[in-house]
Amino acid sequence: MPRQNYLFTSESVSEGHPDKVCDRISDAIVDLFLKHEPDARVACETLTTTNLIVLAGETRGPASITNDMIEETARRAVRDIGYEQEGFHWRDAKVQIYLHEQSMDIAQGVDSTGNKDLGAGDQGIMFGYACRETDSLMPAPIYFSHRILQSMAKARHDGSQPAFGPDSKSQVTLRYVGGKPVGATSVVVSTQHADGLSQEEVREMVRPFVTAALPEGWMCPEDEFYVNPTGKFVIGGPDGDAGLTGRKIIVDTYGGAAPHGGGAFSGKDPTKVDRSAAYAARYLAKNVVGAELAERCTIQLSYAIGVSKPLSVYVDLHGTGQVDEEKLEGALRQVMDLSPRGIRQHLDLMRPIYERTAAYGHFGREPGADNSFTWEKLDLVGALKDACA
């Protein structure tokens, strides 16, 4: 029997965290290429440090996309986050670009030729997860960690709390009783701030954002509410700590509440199953829970580079299922084409929709009017119920 009473913790980081700055730039480059060519290929990694942005990787797209356009895109992403600091400024940072053509050895495995369908862009395993802890069918600790930082960022951008800096982190520990979250036992928030503020002043600036993000009565005890535990956080972002694309994969997904296959998402076009198949696995898991076939659902998919079908589909309903797991595995293949091409077409992924995924999680977000976050839709509920009947 799984444990019913325990504490569980998840963390989030803001859009201004050094690693998230890199994720944002990398995804902005993906969007730039997809905007000009839906079949473009991009694998863009970013490094940031004090007034330096370095881009490296492989692309395949129209010659009309110049390095000047790429540099402008990177600077605009940093400007939109809000970095205008002496040690890291969207206008003053040096931008170095080391992007080259995609390897033909990789391209021949992915591209369709003759009777060969589009293959996966790499081998790997991907996981999707959903549960009934929140309305978004996300685990509660990561959901509330994101909400705290999102609300703080909104206040910074709209000017209602200008003393906040772009770089921040949150960590929420929840108590579970009978397998369900019932309240916070500790909350940690570290936020970059204007110089001259005391730790206590920053603490009281942060407090209303935490209490508003948590359900009523869930706030942790006062001595377990930690704000800027080191005491001062003025130098932040890439000036304080170097950043790299793809170093916050648990923040991006389920906060440690579910397995992770190890592959990062940002900077990769949707032919890379690290991204597209992880989105598909979340989509299917969410629809399984939405269809009331289980209270919790974990799905694993696996792929081989150049192969146009999943090598395996695995479902774990954690003892909460209303249907046989082996039967459900067959039903998932029935309701959705899980080939790389099928995933991209079903979820309409070959579009410039990725920059906004770079912070506050790729999952648990509202599908947009522009058909973004399609993997969060619950439009397979009826088909799954029918397939499992």
DSSP character for 337? -
Q: Which residues are annotated as a binding site?
A: 17, 19, 45, 58, 102, 167-169, 232-233, 241, 247-248, 264, 268, 272
pLDDT at residue number 312 = 96
Whole-number pLDDT of residue 303: 94
41-49 and 6-13 strand pairing: unpaired
The C-alpha torsion from 79 through 15 and 169 to 150, rounded to 10°, is: 110
Please tell me the distance from the alpha carbon of residue 292 to that of residue 321, in angstroms, as a whole number. Answer: 9
CA torsion, ordered 231, 237, 239, 244, to nearest 10 deg:
130
The reported pLDDT for the residue numbered 2 is 76
Could you identify the residue written with the tokens 């199953």?
273
Tens of pLDDT along the chain (389 residues) come to 678 999 999 999 999 999 999 999 999 999 999 999 999 999 999 999 999 999 999 999 999 999 999 999 999 999 999 999 999 999 999 999 999 997 666 555 565 555 445 667 678 999 999 999 999 999 999 999 999 999 999 999 999 999 999 999 999 999 999 999 999 999 999 999 999 999 999 999 999 999 999 999 999 999 999 999 998 999 999 999 999 999 999 999 999 999 999 999 999 999 999 999 999 999 999 999 999 999 999 999 999 988 889 999 999 999 999 999 999 999 999 999 999 999 999 999 999 999 999 999 999 999 988 889 999 999 999 999 999 98
Detail the DSSP E strand segments found in 138-199.
164-177, 180-193
Cα separations (Å) of 226 from 7, 78, 85, 187, 231?
17, 29, 26, 6, 10
Q: Hey, what are 331's tokens?
A: 């039903």
The residues that are catalytic are 17, 19-20, 45, 58, 169, 233, 241-242, 247-248, 268, 272, 274
Residues belonging to the binding site for L-methionine are: 58, 102, 241, 272
Domains, the chain, ordered by start? 6-13+140-235 (3.30.300.10), 124-132+273-388 (3.30.300.10)
User: Residue 114: what pLDDT?
Assistant: 52
pLDDT at 104: 63
Q: Using an 8 Å Cβ cutoff, are 33 and 59 in contact?
A: yes
Q: What residue numbers does the annotated binding site for Mg(2+) cover?
A: 19
Residue pointed to by tokens 């793809």: 246
